[in-house]
Amino acid sequence: MQQPTQGPDAPSSSPRYQQPRRGWGNPAPLAPPPPSLDHFPPLGKENPEGKQRSPHSVPSYQRADQPHGQQPHRPKAGPLASNNNPIAPRRFDRRPPRLPVAHYEQFFVEQAANLEKVAKSLLEEISPPDEETVAKNELLHLLQGICRKLVPTAVLIPFGSLVTGFSTASSDIDCVFVAGPLNDPATPEVSDDLPALLERSLQEEDFDAQLLTRTRVPIIKMKQRAAPGIGEIQCDIGFKNFLAIHNTQLLLCYSKCDVRVKQIVLFVKWWAKNRHINSPYRGTLSSYGYVLMILHYLINIVQPPVLPNLQLQPIPQGTADSEIHYKEGGSEYNIWFAKDITNIGPSPNTSSAGELLRGFFDYYSYKFAWGQSVISIRTQGGLLTKQDKDWCMAKSRPANTSDGAETWEVKDRYLFALEDPFETVHNVGRTCNGPGVRRIRDELRRAMDLIKFRGDGGQRLERFLCEEAPPERPFVKKEDREPKDPNASMSPGAENENAAEEAANSGAAAGGKAAEDLVLDTLDAVKELSLNS
């Protein structure tokens, strides 16, 4: 017999509805599955008494000012919300009416305008005075003279914020000692005893200089005493950090592409310093890391983009190989990026720095997937996954100090994954430990809450956004937590180095990066220790 295909006797398309119901007398057949799970109100709740709703009645959950197609948040039904409870608040009456989208846009404009105002007044305050920049350049010149007494062809190449223009009043000088011109194959290697000789020369010239050797690469940390009108200037002299010279040039080129880059970087750096989330040795992020976060937002996230991807620009014919490849320590790096930005043209994005800052805080507060994504500014789209890079689990590996005497374990952490644009095995965010990442994220959300606050013309934002956070707990070495021999003495320098080493061990100087980076972090540790003492 032919089965009916329609009507009550037709078989259900789903086998589930063919099951005979057990028990409960004579049950009614089950309703067919809903065509869509996005059904609202929930199935079975609609019109429970079987009454016909007037075609003109407005459901209680739909406000008159509700924009078309936008459903309000439905509060969960709790015990108080029961229909039988006389004191139960009426469902959907508890929240203020939602505002139409147009109103939100107006708030974004208001928030961005407040932020722009705050940023403008702050930038004037935090940019280092011209005299300080002049003094830093003079100090660099003086130091180069001292180096040349030891190696006549020596050059001190600056990198970091002094070159990029991202320095604030408290920024130090970062530089690297090279025994001759950088790209000249005839330039000799720096001899092993040179760092100690240079330390002595600097001390003879009355500088407060200290050579750190309990690091993978030696580094001299020195400072020039404060002069009238100019504060103390700190300077770090490294002996191998050549990739940093290239990545500094990349940052400088991005800064030249658009004036808003520098404004945003200076603001975010100042905010991060004051909120104490810019201390690599305490488990948070370096200034360089914050710059990479900003570049990712400006290249890949904001629409239209503010910056082009300079590393993805075509390589012009005839470009020297030294501009494309760089070899160091047995590894080769692709260091190509477009340096001629005159062909690139201005960005079609005309947002103010305030609007972009708002977007930056919003993106990292609510949209960026901290657990899964890797920021990779060299890549199309700017994001990779931790799986792609095998950056899911922390890894430990042994490391040697520059004097060859000691070894320690460094930990490569990937809680916050921020790929270096050239040294792609290096996670710039590796200094961030669990509490550090949480603090950075909390601070981003705190900033966003302040930005969203409205109705006071931005006064609250101005007062609290970059307000100095309460002091952090002083850094205590592991061995200091244990009772120690009161007769044991240690020079303050050695103590600093030990602390720096521990900082290195405890995560500030984890691996997956060049030894030079380790040195930078270790120096951060020493710097902060001396500031705290």
- Applying CB under 6 A, the residues found at the interface with ligand CTP are 159-161, 166-168, 171-172, 174, 244, 247-248, 251, 286-288, 428, 517, 520
Strand-pair partners of 237: 175, 220
Per CB under 5 A, 195 contacts Mg ion: no
| Nearest C-alpha neighbor of 509 from the set 397, 382, 421, 420 | 397
166, interface contact from Mg ion, ligand CTP, none, CB < 5-8 Å by kind: ligand CTP
Q: What is the closest distance, in whole angstroms, from the C-beta atom of residue 427 to ligand CTP in the complex?
A: 9
Nearer to ligand CTP, 276 or 477 (CB): 276
- Classify the phi-psi angles of 47: left when phi > 0, otherwise alpha if psi is within -120 to 50, otherwise beta: left
Query: How many other β-carbons are positioned within 10 Å of the β-carbon of residue 120?
Result: 14
Between 150 and 155, whose beta carbon lies closer to ligand CTP? 155
Pick from 226, 234, 222: which is nearest to 161 by CA? Answer: 234
Of 114 and 215, the one with the shorter C-beta distance to ligand CTP is 215
Give me the DSSP letters along 228-269: TTB--EEEEEESS-HHHHHHHHHHHHHHHH-HHHHHHHHHHH
Interacting partner of 203 out of ligand CTP, Mg ion, none (Cβ under 5 to 8 A depending on kind): none
How many whole angstroms separate alpha carbon 450 and alpha carbon 460? 7
CB of 287 to Mg ion, least distance (A): 6
Let me know: does 269 contact 290? Beta carbons within 8 Å: yes
Of these partners, ligand CTP, Mg ion, none, which one is at the site of residue 520 (CB under 5 to 8 Å by kind)?
ligand CTP
Q: How far apart are CA 251 and CA 311, in angstroms?
A: 11
Tell me how far, at minimum, the Cβ of 148 lies from ligand CTP, in Å: 24
CB atoms within 10 A of CB 21: 11
Distance in Å, CB of 269 to ligand CTP, minimum: 6
Residue whose CB is less far from ligand CTP, 197 or 252:
252
List the alpha helices (DSSP H) in 151-237.
161-164, 194-204
Closest approach of ligand CTP to the CB of residue 311, in Å:
15
527: left (phi over 0), alpha (psi -120 to 50) or beta: alpha
Q: How far is the CB of 516 from Mg ion (least distance, A)?
A: 13
List phi, psi (to 5°) of 304. -65, 160
How far apart are CB 259 and ligand CTP at their closest, in Å?
18
d(CA 4, CA 11): 8
Residue nearer to ligand CTP on the CB measure, 167 or 496: 167
Contact criterion met (CB below 8 Å) for 210 and 222: yes
Cis peptide leading into residue 15 (ω within 30°): no
- Closer Cβ to Mg ion, 161 or 247, answer by number: 161
> Please, what is the minimum distance in Å from the beta carbon of residue 446 to Mg ion?
26
Cβ closest to ligand CTP, residue 111 vs residue 422: 422
* Distance in Å, CB of 513 to ligand CTP, minimum: 6
- The one of Mg ion, ligand CTP, none whose footprint includes residue 244, by CB under 5 to 8 A per kind, is ligand CTP
Binding string, residues 144-163; x marks residues near Mg ion by CB under 5 A: ----------------xx--
- The Cβ-side half-sphere exposure at 226, using a 13 Å CA radius, reads 6
From the CB of residue 229, how many other CB atoms can be counted at a distance below 10 Å? 9
The answer to whether residues 364 and 444 touch, using CB atoms and an 8 Å cutoff, is yes
Q: What angle do CA 362, 363, 365 make, to 5 degrees?
A: 65
Q: How far is the CB of 117 from ligand CTP (least distance, A)?
A: 24
Q: How far apart are CA 160 and CA 166, in angstroms?
A: 8
Q: Is the Cβ of residue 116 or residue 236 nearer to ligand CTP in the bound state?
A: 236
- CB-wise, 161 or 506, nearer to ligand CTP? 161
Which entry of ligand CTP, Mg ion, none binds 416, CB below 5 to 8 A by partner kind? none
Residue 361 touches which of Mg ion, ligand CTP, none (Cβ within 5-8 Å per kind):
none
The distance between the two most distant Cα atoms of the chain, rounded to a whole number of Å, is 110
By CB under 5 A, is residue 174 in contact with Mg ion? yes
Does position 354 interact with Mg ion (CB under 5 A)? The reply is no
**Residue 192 token pair:** 């092993």
Which one of Mg ion, ligand CTP, none interacts with residue 167, CB within 5 to 8 A by kind? ligand CTP
Q: Which value, in Å, is the radius of gyration of the alpha carbons in the chain?
A: 31
Tell me how far, at minimum, the Cβ of 273 lies from ligand CTP, in Å: 7
Pinpoint the alpha helices (H) of 275-407: 287-296, 353-362, 386-389
Which lies closer to ligand CTP via its Cβ, residue 209 or residue 244? 244
270 binds, among ligand CTP, Mg ion, none (CB under 5 to 8 A by kind): none
Nearer to ligand CTP, 443 or 517 (CB): 517
For residue 423, CA distances in Å to 311, 410, 500, 504 come to 13, 18, 24, 20
Binding site for Mg ion (CB under 5 A): 160-161, 174
